[in-house]
Chain A
Amino acid sequence: MEKGTSPRPRSRNMRLTPGEYSRMVGRASPKSPLRRDVVWAFLVGGGICLLGEWLRKAFLAAGHTLGDAAALTSITLIGLSALCTALGWYQKLAAKAGAGTLVPITGFANAVVSQAIEFKVEGLVTGVGAKMFVIAGPVIVYGTMASWVWGLLYAALRAWG
């Protein structure tokens, strides 16, 4: 029997083929309202970055170096995201903002914190500890891997260039 296709039934066979059905599904399924989604993503994403810029300037004004100010900004945004995640506000905003809440670092924090909260019921070690990075893990894995590749390339370029 061919994988994934429908075998001939004893009763009346449906004439419909998967190809035809795929076209029907395409026509029947409403598409996401692109313009509205993009506007929300732009405004909320921009807003979060605006908050980040305000924080960064505040830390610089307090006398921190560029590097420290950047780190402090990230940590502060992450903390705010963790708080909003815990209170359930981040989920409500994200339901409208989509990529506006997913793409900033606050989205990464939300992914980690929401997993941690959700699986506390399964234990601090086997729930919170084990499952915390289920959603955000790939970002760390492939981001680090890409930086490793770049690091080796750069080392090679330095040695030969």
Chain B
Amino acid sequence: MDYVWAFLVGGAICAAGQVLMDLTGLTPARILTGYVVAGVVLSALGWYAPLAELAGAGASVPLLGFGHLLAQGARNAVDRIGWLGAFTGGLSAAAGGICASLVFGVLAALAARSRDQN
């Protein structure tokens, strides 16, 4: 059942993004930025945690989930160390993902090459 929810919720979030891409003039870059900020907002309002409970990776894998991660990180840091946590919490929580992307980026650059699409 968890798997079904993960698939449905994750798919729906992506489908909504596709609708935005096809029907509005919004570029992919703007849509992604909008998604991550929306994730922070939904998390702050307390609406994202229940969805994460229900859908597991279906809520955490899309970029909305990345915003939720950032927001939770900031909140938890503020709980621990006060307002300074606003500066440290977000990036700390996202560190794993950012570091992984960066490291794999360098490794891939060393091993792989740019590929013609023709």
Contact = CB atoms under 8 A, between A and B. Distances in A.
Q: Touch between A and B in complex, CB under 8 Å?
A: yes
Interface of A: 31-32, 34, 37-38, 40-57, 70-71, 73-75, 77-79, 82-83, 85-88, 91, 98-100, 102-109, 112-113, 115-121, 124, 128, 132, 135-136, 138-140, 142-144, 146-156, 158
A65 B100 CA distance: 19
Given A77-B61, A143-B37, A98 B18 contact: yes
B115 A88 contact: yes
A108 B101 contact: yes
Contact of B17 (A41, A112, A116, A151): A41
Contacts of A154: 44, 74-75, 78, 86
A37 to B, nearest CB: 5
B62 A78 contact: no
Contact of A146 (B19, B41, B101): B41
A43 to B, nearest CB: 7
Contacts, number: 285
Contacts of B43: 150
Interface residues of B, number: 81
B50 interface: no
Given A73-B60, A91-B115, A148-B87, A50 B14 contact: no
Interface string B26-47: 0011011101110111011000
B49 interface: no
14 contacts: A47-B11, A49-B10, A52-B60, A73-B57, A91-B115, A98-B18, A100-B18, A102-B17, A119-B109, A143-B39, A147-B86, A150-B43, A150-B75, A154-B44
Nearest to B9: A49
